[in-house]
Structure 1
Amino acid sequence: MKAYTFDPSVDCAIALDQADELASYRSEFYIKADRIYLDGNSLGLLSKRAEQSLLDALDSWKEYGIDGWTEGAKPWFYLSEQLGEKMAPLVGASPEEVIVTGSTTVNLHQVVSTFYQPTGKQTKILADELNFPSDIYAMQSQLRAKGYDPDEHLVRVKSRDGRFIEEDDIIAAMSDEIALIVLPSVLYRSGQILDMKRLTEEAHKHDILIGFDCCHSVGAIPHFFDEWGVDFAVWCNYKYLNAGPGGVGALYVNRRHFHRVPGLAGWFSSHKEKQFDMEHVLTPATTAGAFQIGTPHLLSIAPLIGSLEIFAEAGIDRLRKKSQQLTSYMLFLIGHELDGMGFTIGNPFEEERRGGHVFLEHPEAARICKALKANGIIPDFRAPNGIRLAPMALYNTYEEVWKAVQILAKIMREEQYKQFENKRGVVA
């Protein structure tokens, strides 16, 4: 951990806010005065620019009707590619290697159906046992579609402690039976960052293709996909990138794979100039655009236009630096205020190994989250006993972090959580 100078007083928080070079971006977002929102790693808040770009898309529909596909300030027909170009710097890619399309799981089905080509002994997919369930479901489905038993052909690397996955264990599992590796960039519970560069190098030494689910990292940490040689990646845009609920996802395909025919082809897989020829033989795009499937969901893409403007201005390096300081400050306060209250810190202490959220474990986690909400703090519960707290670099303040920890300590001292059932809601 970097040697920040923190103290437990509110004056420290105020001083940190006064020195914050990103503080002005807070005014870009819709923030409730009586609420401290610490769930941006599940759904980011609405920015005024994202709202405006959505309204602009509605105006374009109103003004142009069908001609909105090719006319107006942001013609719809080219928008997925244009936004991929704007997003490329966040992931260290060339513009043509990123496309805004689909959802995380649909995009994962696309890349696995494309890159999982079992031959000879190489018939298995390597994943991990701590991955988000949707990814596992998709890989199991793709194995069944190719006639393989997921119980035998989906290899899941075990965690040594239930929180983290060791890169050494992943590498040890790279046998000559593995055809494809799909891993999270950041573990959704513990926030552990996997060493994508090292894992990619090792996979390629074993002649294995490798890709990452980056839902919990894009917009929070810098990526260097081209430099690392990553084969593919998928991610959502509604968490750190604040594109709104159900916002359209994105994917990356390294240019060396542009020759591959998409495993799940559709109309928007077409080369743009051939798409309206209506031929029954696909001429795929010569970019990541080939891995689109259907018509872009324009009203779910539109907020990303405004959001990416903010990211281009703020810069991912500055955002990462502030995020690291925010989470380090929160961990300092947790250690000072919550000692002896039954909490276990379940995320890495080292900044370079920690994503954008803090993960606390407690036997009463579900009811503690309910008590936090009753006190105006918006956390995120993850079964069976996890509390995720994500201070966002664009809109959370250090004073909010200080207040949130004070309120959590008060809840525990007064046992306020006992008035709630220790059971998650339908949506946790």
Structure 2
Amino acid sequence: MLLTAEYAKKLDKEDHLYRFREEFYIKPNTIYLDGNSLGLLSKRAERTLLESLHDWKEHGIDGWTKGKHPWFFLSERLGEMIAPLVGAEADEVMVTGSTTVNLHQLVATFYKPEGKRSKILADELTFPSDIYALQSQLRLHGFDPDTHLIMVKSRDGRFLKEEDIIEGMTDETALIILPTVLYRSGQILDMKRLTAEANKRGILIGFDGCHSIGAIPHSFSEWGVDFAYWCNYKYLNGGPGSVGGLYINKKHFGTAPGLTGWFGSKKEKQFDMEYSFTPEESAGAYQIGTPHVLSLAPLLGALEIFTEAGIEKIREKSVKINRFLMDLMDQELSNMGFSIGSPYEDERRGGHISLEHKEAARICKALKANGIIPDFRAPNIIRLAPVALYTSYSEVWDAVEVLKQIMVEKQYEKFENVRDVVA
């Protein structure tokens, strides 16, 4: 079937999520395909941020317990809103910290080397910040990361084989940290299978959900995942620097946090100012410091949209619009030096498509010059993320047509093939 602009318009008319585009600030004459790095601002997120600012203005210190969005229980309220997106109970989820801070907290809590069971299993395609944190935690325990951080190899530099990960689950493994979705290729790992295999061997397993939350459904509690952590500024549209999130399986409630701080206290005890720590009996125990209220506030509005749209419907459109993008690439960009570096199987692919080209950095700059906002990952990846809530099929069609024109006219030759400071 030949894909056309008219067919893209037909798909837009049939799109049950199309109405949510009006919820977002979409810059005129721009096609935003970088929601996998930073989601767009919604009008609801703007509203709840302004409401929280008003609470501060109106109530001062009393904003902790008064106003539209009292701050003292704000993290718990947001955890309850996010819980359905990760397949967890409300008290298993907390909005707190940042991705790397939460990883440090979780490893400090659950990495308990004993005898020869002292190694951490990760993979060589994960986001570098996770590796930095794991190296740091190993050093704090007196171990050399070169010998105690085992990184599962990729056979092709794009994807991971679950069989290879399972093979790495040895009797020397104390903890496993893996991504839910690989940040470069967009491959979804089989979390259910990997968790079952880890549980079978008595190894704790945690997942980095940064590139999946808000894009795909999860069932962390049902699968028996021990813990997870993520950021909220990509598909969840919480804003730059938005507070992160963590999940703790309730079977671990009562496990002492590795890093303690007063916001992990039982709420009724927190202001007793005692020197003995009384932790919450929930994921709340793993908070450390005072919540960043003005970075939490936009999430209140952003998550309202997810509650209305439903993660299953979001995933349904995401699969369909990404398939449309991949088919368009095959139709329009053949013989131009591109390779698709994402899984072709819909069930194995997350929310973005990776397009590989030796001139990727300068092609990204040419796209931006034409009003298309992509994402570059060294050395040769153009990441494109049609986001279900605000990207239209017609925009995907137009973006591919612009990319085709850039290649035919060699517009990219005007730019250096090096990344900008922020890629």
Q: Same fold (TM over 0.5)?
A: yes
- Is 1:214 matched up with 2:212? no
Counterpart Cα distance in 1 of 2:27 and 2:69: 31
Counterpart Cα distance in 2 of 1:151 and 1:279: 41
| Residue in 1 that maps onto 2:287 | 292
Counterpart Cα distance in 1 of 2:145 and 2:265: 32
Cα offsets for 1:341-368 (capped at 9, x unmatched): 0001100000000000000110000000
| Residue in 2 that maps onto 1:3 | none
Q: Which amino acid in structure 2 is aligned with residue 221 of structure 1?
A: I
| Residue in 1 that maps onto 2:102 | 107
Shift of 1:8: 1.9
Which residue of the other structure, out of 25, 36, 54, is the alignment partner of 2:31?
36
Shift of 1:258: 0.8
| Residue in 2 that maps onto 1:13 | 8
TM-score scaled by length of structure 2: 1.00
| Residue in 1 that maps onto 2:247 | 252
Counterpart Cα distance in 2 of 1:56 and 1:73: 7
Aligned residue for 1:34, secondary structure, equals coil
Shift of 1:266: 0.5
Counterpart Cα distance in 2 of 1:71 and 1:46: 26
- Is 1:405 matched up with 2:400? yes
Q: Is the 8 A contact 2:122 2:176 kept in 1?
A: yes
Cα offsets for 1:122-177 (capped at 9, x unmatched): 10000000000000000000000111111100000000000001000000000000
Choose 363-372 or 69-78, whichever is displaced more: 69-78
- Is 1:45 matched up with 2:40? yes
Residues 132-147 of structure 1 mapped to structure 2, 5 A cutoff:
132-147=127-142
- Is 1:67 matched up with 2:62? yes
Counterpart Cα distance in 2 of 1:224 and 1:7: 37
Counterpart Cα distance in 1 of 2:41 and 2:212: 19
| Residue in 1 that maps onto 2:164 | 169
Shift of 1:417: 0.3
| Residue in 1 that maps onto 2:323 | 328
Aligned residue for 1:76, secondary structure, equals coil
Shift of 1:269: 1.0
Counterpart Cα distance in 2 of 1:411 and 1:377: 11
Counterpart Cα distance in 2 of 1:56 and 1:240: 23
Shift of 1:259: 1.2
- Is 1:119 matched up with 2:114? yes
Counterpart Cα distance in 2 of 1:243 and 1:237: 5
Aligned residue for 1:53, secondary structure, equals helix
Q: Is the 8 A contact 2:121 2:149 kept in 1?
A: yes
Counterpart Cα distance in 1 of 2:75 and 2:141: 30
| Residue in 1 that maps onto 2:223 | 228
- Is 1:389 matched up with 2:384? yes
Counterpart Cα distance in 1 of 2:17 and 2:3: 22
Counterpart Cα distance in 2 of 1:73 and 1:250: 22
Which residue of the other structure, out of 172, 180, 183, is the alignment partner of 1:188?
183
Shift of 1:73: 2.3
Counterpart Cα distance in 1 of 2:156 and 2:358: 17
Which residue of the other structure, out of 263, 266, 270, is the alignment partner of 2:265?
270
Q: Spell out structure 1 runs of 4+ moving beyond 3 A.
A: none
| Residue in 1 that maps onto 2:200 | 205
Counterpart Cα distance in 2 of 1:391 and 1:18: 17
Which residue of the other structure, out of 303, 308, 319, is the alignment partner of 1:308?
303
| Residue in 2 that maps onto 1:339 | 334
Aligned pairs, number = 423
- Overall identity of the aligned pairs, in %: 68
Choose 228-237 or 7-16, whichever is displaced more: 7-16
| Residue in 2 that maps onto 1:84 | 79
Unpaired stretches in structure 1, ≥5 consecutive residues: 1-5
Counterpart Cα distance in 1 of 2:276 and 2:363: 57
Shift of 1:120: 1.1
Q: Which amino acid in structure 1 is aligned with residue 47 of structure 2?
A: Q
Aligned residue for 2:134, secondary structure, equals helix
Counterpart Cα distance in 1 of 2:271 and 2:401: 60
Q: Which amino acid in structure 1 is aligned with residue 136 of structure 2?
A: S
Cα offsets for 1:7-42 (capped at 9, x unmatched): 321000000000000110000000011100000000
